[in-house]
Chain A
Amino acid sequence: MDWTMWIEWGIKSVILILILLGGFAYLTLFERKVLARFQVRIGPNRTGPWGLLQPIADAVKLIFKEEFTPAQAQKVIFVLAPIITVVPAIVVAAVIPWGGNVTVFGRQVSLYIADLNVGMLFITAVTSIAVYGITLAGWSSNNKYALMGGLRASAQMISYELALGFSFVTVIILAGSMRMIDIVEAQRTMWFAVIQPAGAFIFLIATLAEVNRAPFDMPEAEQELTAGYHVEYSGMKFALFFMAEYIKMIVISAIAVTLFFGGYLGPDITQLPFIGQYLIWLAPWMGLVYMFIKVVALLFIMVWVRATLPRIRYDRLMAFGWKVLLPLSLALAFISAVGVLLAQDVNPALIWLVPVVSIIAGFVTIGLVDRSLRRKIYAAR
């Protein structure tokens, strides 16, 4: 451990934080633009060409807005809550591999900050802390809507963390490791989204609930809770919540890419005809490009879902998390484990039992949910 390592870590951390903050700013613009096109509108286009300066205008507005603290609020916690929400969202990004190894000024540099051997555990542990921020924000505001939002957020995030955790487990079983690099490298032949499609689907649903996105945005439902846990926040403190939500979106998309969609792996550009041999210097950097493309694709899906699906009712949200996603993800973990065992001991081709059986399990679950819902409709008549 020499001193250059510390400098390298410092530089990489600063760059990563800057990228996440810039990414947050432009993700808001991306979301508004894409959502507008889904709704046959144009979206922001007044500030700069194609509205590209809109995030800067938003930031300036939020910074110069009055910061208001309710007289009855718990002042210390009220100030701390946004920070507690933002910091875990950024810290999680440390273990995500954004690319392989590259050479910068003759020095071998890895495009990730921390190569933890329990990376997955780190992710689950740190993302859970964000719940505290939201719950404390709801409680310290001393506002009934904020408290309701905070309670809903904590209940929802804890419930969906189970399904999320079990889809982590399926990946860990398939990769045989908790290290993020190992998980990515295990997908060199085949993405885990192909081997465990139902698991990837559950993961995407649970992430939507984890980051409080539509259709699971009950904690900040404008129509019933005015704004949920951040109703009393304004100015920069509100901006921090906003930032936390969007950074969590980016980070959790990056996690989804790493776990299920092959991470930074992609086509080898040195194999391209004619120009391939001139691109050898570029090849290690392509990991960043593939990662970027995949993350943007997942973010697009999040916006797409928001543009399509209405908000789910709160009791159904909890029932869905506990009665559908949790048993299904348990079953998927079991199926993956059996599949991996069979592939190791009997025949490697048997790994293809996993996608088949898990898809069947997924559809059976859908059928059961549909049937129980229908029974309720009949009972109501």
Chain B
Amino acid sequence: MRLVEPFVELMTGLMTTMKMLVTEKPVTIQYPEEKRPVKPRFRGRHVLKRYDNGLEKCIGCALCAAACPADAIFVEASENTDAQRFSPGDRYASTYEINMLRCIYCGFCEDACPTEAIVLGDNYELSFTHRRQAVYDKSMLIEVLAAGASSTPQVTEPGKFTRSVPEMKDPQD
């Protein structure tokens, strides 16, 4: 007959929690002030990338919209001219909208993009107070200009940016 063991087991359990109280430091992260970095392959809010000279990578091909399983992306393309150039090649996205309420952050748009223009970034702090606010347009998605780069539309010399899709290496990640 076990007389003392059940009591000892009870006390062992109590001491386990007491050890947590005494020895362990709280693991809480004080969120808005203190943020944990996301993982390298984290899929957050989308960003439309630019080339180093400031031209947009997006060529308005709408392959992302075709790949999107949630039908969250809407792209409308227009013609580039050398006097008003947004992106290399013939066409650029004059309208680019993503409905963040529909988006499921699967990353298929990223995979479908031939120019690596759309990338899922690390911003997960999306909040809206109205449905219309959930539709992010191009001005909200486009990457901030790097220092020294000029904004679009640019005036470019003829015959320089004829190729839509740049030379690319195989994806690394």
Contact = CB atoms under 8 A, between A and B. Distances in A.
Contacts of B4: 363, 366
A308 B14 contact: yes
Nearest to A368: B1
A42 interface: yes
Interface in A347-376: 363-364, 366-371
Nearest to A301: B14
Contacts of B2: 367, 370-371
Nearest to A300: B21
A136 to B, nearest CB: 35
Contacts of A305: 14
B69 to A, nearest CB: 36
A128 to B, nearest CB: 29
A380 interface: no
A365 to B, nearest CB: 9
A37 interface: yes
Interface stretch (B24-32, B71-79, B111-119, B133-141): B24-32
A128 B60 CA distance: 76
A363 B21 contact: no
Nearest to B23: A40
Contacts of A36: 26
A34 B26 CA distance: 12
B14 A366 contact: no
A132 interface: no
A307 interface: yes
Interface string A99-121: 00000000000000000000000
B20 A40 contact: yes
A5 interface: no
A309 interface: yes
Contact of B21 (A37, A364, A367): A37
B27 A308 contact: no
A41 interface: yes
Given A36-B26, A40-B20, A309 B1 contact: no
B149 to A, nearest CB: 42
B128 interface: no
Contacts of A304: 14, 17-18
A308 B5 CA distance: 18
B6 A40 contact: no
B24 A40 contact: yes
Interface residues of B, number: 19
Contacts of A34: 21
A41 B6 CA distance: 30
A371 B6 CA distance: 10
A367 B26 contact: no
Nearest to B12: A308
A38 interface: yes
B16 interface: yes
A39 interface: yes
Contact of B16 (A39, A41, A308, A367): A308
A363 B7 contact: yes
Contact of A42 (B6, B21, B28): B28
B147 interface: no
A368 B1 CA distance: 8
B39 to A, nearest CB: 23
A338 B106 CA distance: 76
B24 to A, nearest CB: 5
B24 A307 contact: no
Nearest to A362: B7
Interface in B6-63: 6-7, 13-14, 16-18, 20-21, 24-28
B3 interface: yes
A37 B26 CA distance: 7
A305 B4 CA distance: 19
Given A309-B13, A366-B7, A367-B1, 20 more contacts: A37-B21, A37-B26, A40-B24, A40-B26, A40-B27, A41-B27, A41-B28, A42-B26, A42-B28, A304-B14, A304-B17, A305-B14, A307-B17, A308-B14, A308-B17, A366-B6, A370-B1, A370-B2, A371-B1, A371-B2
15 contacts: A38-B20, A38-B21, A39-B20, A40-B20, A41-B26, A41-B28, A42-B28, A304-B17, A304-B18, A308-B13, A363-B3, A363-B4, A366-B7, A367-B1, A371-B1
